[in-house]
C-alpha cells in the first residue's frame, strides 16, 4: 500500500514512516495539511495517517475534504491524536476518519491499523472492479439491444430513439432533417430461388453497401424484413434525393445476381423514397414515416429500382415539393 503520513512534528513523522516502511509499505510524507491535500490530489494514496493538529488543514478538515472531493478509489484514514484529544475521536470519525491512534503511538497498534486498512482498501478495489465490469457488460448489452443481429446495423428500436432525438434537435435549432426508406426489389423471389441462407447474405451485403456510402452524422437502420432506413440530419430535400440515389447506385453497382427477378436487370436492386421535415412543421415522426412509406410504395408500383420523393410539408401546412423520381 501507499501510505501518506501527515504530521508537523518531525519525530512523529519519522517514527510513523519507519514503522510503515518496516511493514513493507511505500511511504510519502507531508509536513502540514495543505501539503497532504496536494499529495492526495495527485497521487493514489491507500492510507492516510494524519495528525489532528496541523498548520493549513487540520486532521478533521483534511478528512472531510478527502471524503467530499476524492471520488476515485478509497483512502483509509487514521487520525493520530494526543492523549488529551481522545474525547474528540468521534468528531474525527464523523468527519470521515476510519480509525485512530493515540500518541505516543505503539508499533503494534500501527501494525493492526495497517492490516485493517489493507483489508478495507482491497475490498473497495474489488467493489470498484466489479462496478467497472458491470458497467462494461451493461454497455455491451445496451449496444446489442440496439443492434440488428443479422446485419450489425441499428435496429428498429435504435431507429425510433434516434428519430425522436433528430426531430427534437431539428425543431430546437430550426434545421431540416430527412429520411430515406429502401426496400430490396423482389426479395421474396430471391429467397425462394436461392434459399434463406443466401437471402441473409444478401441482406448483409445490402446493409454493407448502404453503410459504405454514409456521410458524416448519417445513420442506417434495418427498418424490418428487407427494408432499411437512412437518417439524414441537417439535410433538406435536394440532399435527401442525392443521398438516396447514391445508396441505390451503391447496391446496383454490387451486381449481386438475382436470376429469379421477373424484370431486368437480373441483379439485386433497391427501390427507395425520401422526404424531409422542415423547420416549423408540426409533422410527427410517425407521420413522416408514413409519408416516406407511401412514396416507397409509389416507387415500387412505378417499376422498382428508382427513388421517389414524398410530399414535403412546410410550416404553413402547404406542399413545398412535387413528386420527383430518379430511375436506374
Cell numbers for 284: 410527427
Angle at the Cα of 292 (from 288 to 297), degrees rounded to 5?
145
Q: How far apart are the first and last CA of the chain?
A: 70
147 pairs with which residues across the strands?
154
Q: Which one of 35, 218, 226, 227 is the catalytic residue?
A: 226
- Residues 270 and 253: their CA atoms lie apart, in Å, by 11
Alpha carbon separation from 290 to 284, 305, 312, 327 (Å, rounded):
10, 20, 12, 22
> Is residue 16 within a helix (H) or strand (E), and if so which, with residue range?
helix 10-22
Q: What ranges make up the beta strands (E) of the chain?
A: 2-6, 26-30, 47-51, 76-81, 99-102, 177-184, 219-224, 227-233, 270-277, 306-309, 312-313, 319-321, 325-327
Q: Tell me if residue 69 is catalytic.
A: no
- Residues 97 and 48: their CA atoms lie apart, in Å, by 9
Give catalytic residue positions: 226
Amino acid at each position: 500500500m501507499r501510505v501518506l503520513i501527515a504530521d508537523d512534528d518531525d519525530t512523529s513523522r519519522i517514527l510513523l514512516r519507519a514503522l510503515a516502511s518496516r511493514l513493507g509499505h511505500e511511504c510519502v510524507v507531508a509536513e502540514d495539511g495543505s501539503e497532504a491535500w496536494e499529495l492526495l490530489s495527485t497521487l493514489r494514496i491507500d492510507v492516510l495517517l494524519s495528525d489532528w493538529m496541523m498548520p493549513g488543514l487540520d486532521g478533521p478538515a483534511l478528512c472531510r475534504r478527502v471524503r467530499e472531493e476524492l471520488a476515485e478509489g478509497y483512502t483509509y484514514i487514521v487520525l493520530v491524536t494526543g492523549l488529551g484529544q481522545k474525547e474528540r475521536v468521534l468528531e474525527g470519525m464523523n468527519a470521515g476518519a476510519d480509525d485512530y491512534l493515540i500518541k505516543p503511538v505503539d508499533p503494534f497498534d500501527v501494525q493492526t491499523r495497517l492490516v485493517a486498512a489493507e483489508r478495507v482498501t482491497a475490498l473497495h478495489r474489488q467493489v470498484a472492479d466489479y462496478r467497472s465490469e458491470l458497467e462494461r457488460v451493461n454497455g455491451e448489452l445496451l449496444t446489442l439491444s440496439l443492434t440488428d443481429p443479422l446485419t450489425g446495423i441499428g435496429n428498429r428500436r435504435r431507429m425510433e430513439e434516434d428519430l425522436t432525438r433528430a426531430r427534437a434537435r431539428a425543431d430546437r435549432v430550426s434545421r431540416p432533417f430527412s429520411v430515406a426508406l429502401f426496400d430490396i426489389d423482389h426479395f421474396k423471389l430471391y429467397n425462394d430461388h436461392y434459399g434463406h441462407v443466401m437471402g441473409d447474405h444478401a441482406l448483409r451485403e445490402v446493409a454493407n453497401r448502404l453503410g459504405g456510402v454514409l456521410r458524416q452524422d448519417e445513420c442506417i437502420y434495418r427498418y424490418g424484413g428487407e427494408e432499411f432506413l437512412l437518417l439524414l440530419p441537417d439535410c433538406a430535400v435536394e440532399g435527401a434525393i442525392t443521398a438516396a440515389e447514391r445508396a441505390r447506385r451503391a447496391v446496383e453497382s454490387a451486381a449481386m445476381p438475382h436470376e429469379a427477378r421477373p424484370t431486368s436487370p437480373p441483379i439485386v436492386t433497391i427501390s427507395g423514397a425520401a422526404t424531409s421535415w422542415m423547420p416549423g412543421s408540426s409533422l410527427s415522426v410517425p407521420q413522416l414515416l408514413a409519408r416516406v412509406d407511401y412514396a416507397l410504395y409509389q416507387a415500387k408500383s412505378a417499376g422498382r429500382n428508382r427513388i421517389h420523393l414524398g410530399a414535403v410539408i412546410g410550416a404553413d401546412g402547404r406542399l413545398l415539393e412535387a413528386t420527383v423520381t430518379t430511375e436506374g
